[in-house]
A and B are shown apart, each in its own frame.
Chain A
Amino acid sequence: MIEYLVAIGLITGIFAIFALGLNLEWGFTGLINFGHVGFLAIGAYTTVLLNQGGFPLWISMAAGVVLAGFFGMLVGIPTLKLKADYLAIVTIGFSEIVRLILLNEDWLTRGPMGLHGFDRPFEALIPFDYNYFLFLFTFVSLAVIYILLEQLVHSPWGRVLKSIREDEDVASALGKNVFSYKIQVLILGSAIAGFAGALLAFNLQYINPRNFIPMETFYAWIIVVLGGSGNNKGIIVGAFMLQFFYSGTRLLQDFIMFDSTQMASLRIMIIGLLLVVFMMYKPQGLLGKKEELGLGR
């Protein structure tokens, strides 16, 4: 039982980090990123490929984070001058391009076969079940990222982000370089996703392009909306809640006489229903502020 809880706790922590990156972009700055998973993939594959190529794990991981941030900038430069919706289109396209490259460039990524056999942080030094260590490592990282993000969003820098979210015309009228802030946010959000990607690789021990389908992006969106966008604490709670819906419905298997495919479909329906009902009662998300909902532009 404890192993199971650690295992689902681990994946929850990784997704919480992943969603914190999205929350910086959407929750605080109003950027619609529908391709967040692309940066998760870049983080994961860069870490694994460099490590397999003989680089020390820490360097590989750092390179994964930096490269994810770099691609965030590359995607942002041509699109962020346009209105918000274009970013949504470009990012979802970008994440699919990343996935298809990973799938088809066999010489580099072994395509659908995926990659396995790579180092994990301190693996040789851990005398007990490695998952416990990875769990600890993930949650310490989550805590650090959370604290840094909280400092950022409560600073004058964060205030500029919120003003861009509310109305970027005002931000420029007050002398703020809106484009530069959006780029910074996209770099940072993508780098966080890249870090989550490395953790995901450590957790799975085997990565392949199927891990990086667009649905993963929307799990992050569900977490952000469930927890309350623009609230970092809410994101962490939202990640646990989604995991609770997700794993909780698995227990149904013991009570209902369906075969596994039917069961899988039923679960998705129940999860959807739970999300809809939750949103009806708490449209602002678990820790979102209700009074903010009515405040349109």
Chain B
Amino acid sequence: MKHSLLEVKEVKKQFESILAVDDCSLIVKKQAITGLVGANGAGKTTLFNLITGYYKADSGKILFNDIRIDDMPTFKRARIGMVRTFQITKALSRMTVLDNMMLGPKGQSGEKIWNIWLKSGKISKEEDMAKEKALEILDFFNMLHMKDEYAGALSGGQKKLLEMARSLMIDPIMLLLDEPFAGVNPTLAKKMVIYIKELREKGMTFLIIEHDIPLITKVSDTLSFMSQGKIILEGTPEEVKKDPRVRDAYLGGGD
């Protein structure tokens, strides 16, 4: 059995009167692709925000690679290899697509102010490498021709793609994708599924929130079903889909 990479233990988050995440526990194994499903308002995105450090949990523990990260600021969590995308896309509007991408790599010498004059040679070498990689990834996402456009001028689906492409520039250990397929055309979505699986083969771990059940079934090893702030069901996609509570959440009913 593979070792776990992310462990969420009895995490709780309350907003005013709403208990958004309630003693929620989740384990993501190394090199697994885990789908996180559940009705709107179940607490999936809040859980993402807790895992990545945008919110601080009221109680509970979060471990990444056996390190406790609940007190770590977001940027440090990203540096140790945990990178996310956002449900409502956050393109850096007034920057070009290529600049969005080149922002990604971590440990860039040129991000330290003195190096700009002290290590200009090293910086331009790093920039060339980053650019090459950026163009490669953009090419995969069929966005190469848009590299010099402002990111703000892209369509909603393209912004989604750009976000995922940008996260890949960091070489994350784990990628948390918040509705990566929403607004992406079906052909490309299928291509992304294959790509995600390829990346997993290379060692990457995924936690994916997605409402598109056929797609998330296709891509995930296991599904975790969340309801009212808790993960109430885990299993293979086939098992989870059969459960009446899941059917209720996705096929009408609701309460």
Contact = CB atoms under 8 A, between A and B. Distances in A.
Nearest to B92: A166
A157 B111 contact: yes
Interface stretch (B71-79, B208-216, B217-225, B226-234): B71-79
A170 B92 contact: yes
Contacts of B21: none
Nearest to A181: B111
Nearest to A176: B75
Contact of B116 (A155, A167, A175): A155
B93 interface: yes
Given A157-B116, A177-B75, A166 B102 contact: no
B72 to A, nearest CB: 11
B113 interface: yes
A159 interface: yes
Contact of A169 (B54, B108, B126): B54
Contacts of A184: 113
A152 B116 contact: yes
Interface in B143-201: 150, 152-153, 166-167, 170
A120 interface: no
B117 A160 contact: no
Contacts of A152: 113, 116
A167 B92 contact: yes
B46 to A, nearest CB: 15
Interface stretch (B1-9, B37-45, B82-90): B82-90
Interface string A272-297: 00000000000000000001101111
Interface residues of B, number: 40
Contacts of A297: 90, 93
B92 A173 contact: no
Nearest to B80: A175
Which of B73, B95, B153 gathers the greatest number of chain A CB atoms within 10 Å?
B95
The SS class assigned to the A binding surface is helix
Nearest to A152: B116
Nearest to B102: A159
A163 interface: yes
A178 B150 contact: no
B247 interface: no
Contact of A157 (B90, B110, B167): B110
Contacts of A160: 103, 111
A114 B44 CA distance: 62
A169 B90 contact: yes
A151 B111 CA distance: 12
B52 interface: yes
Given A170-B90, A295-B153, A175 B170 contact: yes
A162 interface: yes
A44 to B, nearest CB: 26
A247 interface: no
B123 interface: yes
A174 B170 contact: yes
B123 A295 contact: no
A255 to B, nearest CB: 44
A54 interface: no
Contact of A166 (B95, B117, B123): B95
13 contacts: A151-B117, A155-B123, A156-B102, A157-B113, A159-B111, A162-B92, A167-B92, A169-B90, A173-B85, A174-B104, A184-B113, A291-B150, A295-B93
Given A166-B94, A172-B75, A175-B170, 20 more contacts: A151-B116, A156-B102, A156-B110, A156-B123, A156-B126, A159-B99, A159-B103, A160-B103, A162-B95, A162-B99, A169-B90, A170-B86, A170-B90, A170-B92, A171-B103, A173-B84, A174-B167, A176-B75, A292-B150, A296-B93
